[in-house]
Amino acid sequence: MTTSDGDHGTLAYYSRRAREYERIYEKPERQEDLYRVRAWLRPLLSERDILEVACGTGYWTAWLAPAARSIVAIDLSAEMLEIARLKSYPEGRVRLERADACDLASVEGRFDAGFAGFWWSHVPLGRQEEFLRGWHERIGPGALAVLLDNRYAEGSSTPIARRDGEGNSYQLRRLDDGSEHEILKNFPTREEIASALAPGGVDVDVVEFDYYWGASYTVARAT
**Domain that residue 54 falls in:** 8-154+187-219
Cα–Cα distances in angstroms (integers) from residue 11 to residues 55, 81, 131, 133, 202, in the given order: 13, 13, 17, 22, 32
Residue 2 belongs to some domain of the structure = no
Cα–chain-centroid distance for residue 98? 15
What is the DSSP-derived secondary structure letter of residue 122? G
| CATH number, domain with residue 60 | 3.40.50.150
Q: Give 163's strand partners.
A: 169
Residue 182 belongs to some domain of the structure = no
List the beta strands (DSSP E) in the chain: 49-53, 70-75, 94-98, 113-117, 144-150, 160-163, 169-174, 180-184, 201-208, 212-219
d(Cα 185, Cα 207) in Å, to the nearest integer? 19
Residue 3 belongs to some domain of the structure = no
Residue 62 belongs to some domain of the structure = yes
pLDDT for the residue numbered 222: 62
List the beta strands (DSSP E) in 45-119: 49-53, 70-75, 94-98, 113-117
What is the tally of structural domains in the chain? 1
Q: Give 201's strand partners.
A: 219
Residue 90 belongs to some domain of the structure = yes
Pairing state between β 113-117 and 49-53: parallel
Residue 174 belongs to some domain of the structure = no
From first to last of its 223 residues, the chain has per-residue pLDDT tens of: 333 333 457 778 888 888 888 999 999 999 999 999 999 999 999 999 999 999 999 999 999 999 999 999 999 999 999 999 999 999 999 999 999 999 999 999 999 999 999 999 999 999 999 999 999 999 999 999 999 999 999 999 999 999 999 999 999 998 889 989 999 999 999 999 999 999 999 999 999 999 999 999 999 976 4
Residue 1 belongs to some domain of the structure = no
